[in-house]
Amino acid sequence: MYLSTVGRREHAAKGKLSAVGANVFALGAVSLVTDVSSEMVTAVLPVYLVLGLDLSPAAYGLFDGLYTGATAVLRIVGGYVADRVRRRKVVAGTGYALSAVAKLGLLAAGASAAAIGAVITLDRTGKGLRTAPRDALITLSAPEPLLGRAFGVHRAMDSVGAFAGPLVALAVLAAVGAADPGAFDAVFVVSFCIAAIGVLLLVLFVRDHRTPRADPKAVSPRAAVALLRGSGVRRLLVAACVLGLATVGDGFVYLLLQHEEDIATGWFPLLAVGTNLSYLLLAAPLGALADRIGRLPVVLGGYGALAVVYLLLAGPVSGWPLIAAALALYGAFYAATDGVLMALAGPLLPESLRTTGISLVQTVQALAYFTSSVLFGLAWQFWGAELAIGVAAGGAVVAIGVTFAVLSPRKATA
């Protein structure tokens, strides 16, 4: 395989977004519906646990910490199984179904902290299982020159769902009356029904791309390990790790904005909404741009946007223009990196092990991201916010350099 595929291409297809194929739209619709369902629950879960069940926040934090390591391992195992049985749709569908069942589990768990923890873990397990096979299916469903666009369309649809979820939850709470103890149950029931619609759409409209049966040795633990030996894949993992380390975490970015601007706490939740809106609007255009000028420049540009966000936070600029610019750029960073990185990774991975490879990339990135947010918290504590964010900006610039060095087109065979 020529690594030059990640660089500029001579004749990227000119065309409409619809050229990415029906399967990408079907997967996008499934993601949209599923995200409405899961964001509904995410929006009300803290309130439900603390006010509905009188659980202390310490218990809640415990739930959240449960899954980071567990799903990382599971994601890779799920990716490998999907490749092994060559049924990516089945593995992704299992993930979607688990998360749907978890919504009913919340009803059944009642107030038992252990049961709620188990249900939340089940939900995250489902999410961990489905992400890599879904992205692998996207890479197999769209023509290679249009992958950036395909991921852009998918991520934009996904964000629409994430955007609508909390609103649907509020509508349900308003209809039942938030003070009514049954209001949360109603949110969970509606969330389950919507998740079930997502699974139904997947079963009916998403087509599995069964890659031709490779010889059995091509999908074995040994082959999966050998994947790591390919210099193309290794470079990809190095890049994913470096880029994950450059990202300090949404929470910190919003917190810094709030410190910088002294935003009334009432506006705080709206900061994430601003980022989401920018991501939603830019995902498809930036994906198309990546197909046209090359995926690497767009990913690097995305990290450039991130560095600018950090500099804005460290710098003396202030006022609403700063907030708007920071949120727009932060959304642009997500739009230019999240899906585009997958579009860049797909062609570098052999078809027979594509899900495994994508799950490796995503896991490395997630763990690096987790590490960097912990480190940033410590840096803030010991050096103060100004210096910490300055170092983060420097880190983002270094990440651009390293990523360019390891992923820039070369004629080396992988």
Partner 1 sequence: MKVRILIAVAGVLVLAGAAVAYVGFASARGHDVAATGAVSLSPGPRLLFRSTADADRGHVATVSATDPGGPRTVSPLACSRVYAAGGTGLCLRPDGDLTTYQLVVLDARLASQREIPLVGLPNRARVSADGRMLAWTVFVTGDSYNGGMFSTRAGILDTATGDLAGTLEDYAVTLDGKPYQAADLNFWGVTFTADDRHFYATMSSAGHRYLVAGDFAAHTIRTVRENVECPSLSPDGTRVAFKSAVEGDPARGWRLSVLDLAAAKVTPLAETRSVDDQPAWLDDHTIGYGVARAPGHSDVWSVPADGTGAPRLLIPEAESPAALGP
* Nearer of residues 233 and 389 to partner 1, judged by Cβ: 389
Of 249 and 315, which has the nearer Cβ to partner 1? 249
Query: What is the smallest separation between the CB atom of 160 and partner 1, expressed in angstroms?
Result: 17
Q: Nearest Cα to 233, choosing from 412, 69, 24, 397?
A: 412
Encoding tokens for residue 314? 């460290």
Give the phi and the psi of residue 318 in degrees, each rounded to 5.
Answer: -155, 180
Give the nearest distance from C-beta 222 to partner 1 in angstroms: 35
Minimum CB distance to partner 1 smaller for 80 or for 369 = 369
CB of 18 to partner 1, least distance (A): 17
Give the dihedral sign, CA 348/225/155/277. negative
State the minimum distance, in angstroms, from the CB of residue 386 to partner 1. Answer: 11
Is residue 7 within 8 A of residue 347, CB to CB? The reply is no
Distance CA 334, CA 107 (A): 34
Least distance (Å) between residue 362 CB and partner 1: 17
User: Nearest-5° angle of CA 368, CA 372, CA 376?
Assistant: 175
CA dihedral 232, 238, 239, 244 (to 10 degrees): 150
C-beta closer to partner 1: residue 278 or 372 = 372
The string of DSSP letters for 21-38 reads -HHHHHHHHHHHHHHHHH
- Rounded Cα distance between 260 and 358, Å, is 37
Residues that bind partner 1 (CB under 8 A): 43-44, 46-47, 50-54, 56-58, 60-62, 64-65, 68, 110-111, 169-170, 172-183, 185-186, 189-190, 193-194, 196-197, 200-201, 204-205, 249-252, 254-255, 264-266, 268-269, 271-272, 370, 373, 376-377, 380-381, 384-385
Min dist CB 200 to partner 1, Å, is 5
Distance of CA 236 to the CA centre of its chain: 17
Of 116 and 219, nearer to partner 1 (C-beta) is 116
Handedness of CA 251, 255, 258, 263 (dihedral sign): positive
Q: Using the minimum distance from each CB to partner 1, give the nearer residue, 36 or 341.
A: 36
Angstrom distances, CA of residue 252 to CA of 95, 296, 350, 375: 30, 27, 37, 12
Specify whether the CB–CB gap between 323 and 33 falls below 8 A: no
Smallest distance from partner 1 to CB 213, Å: 27
Least distance from C-beta 66 to partner 1, angstroms?
11
Tokens of 228: 């790591």
| Smallest distance from partner 1 to CB 265, Å | 4
Closest CA to 154 of 342, 405, 378: 342
- Specify the residue, 85 or 167, whose C-beta has the smaller distance to partner 1: 167
Residues 6+ positions from 233 with CB-CB distance below 8 Å: 227, 348, 349, 357, 360, 414
Q: For the chain, state the CA radius of gyration.
A: 21
**Residue 42 or 408 having the CB closest to partner 1:** 42
Measured from the CB atom, is 181 or 212 closer to partner 1?
181
**How far is the C-alpha of 282 from the C-alpha of 338, rounded, in Å?**
12
Q: Which is nearer to partner 1, 169 or 342 (CB)?
A: 169
**Whole-number minimum distance, CB 112 to partner 1, in Å?**
9
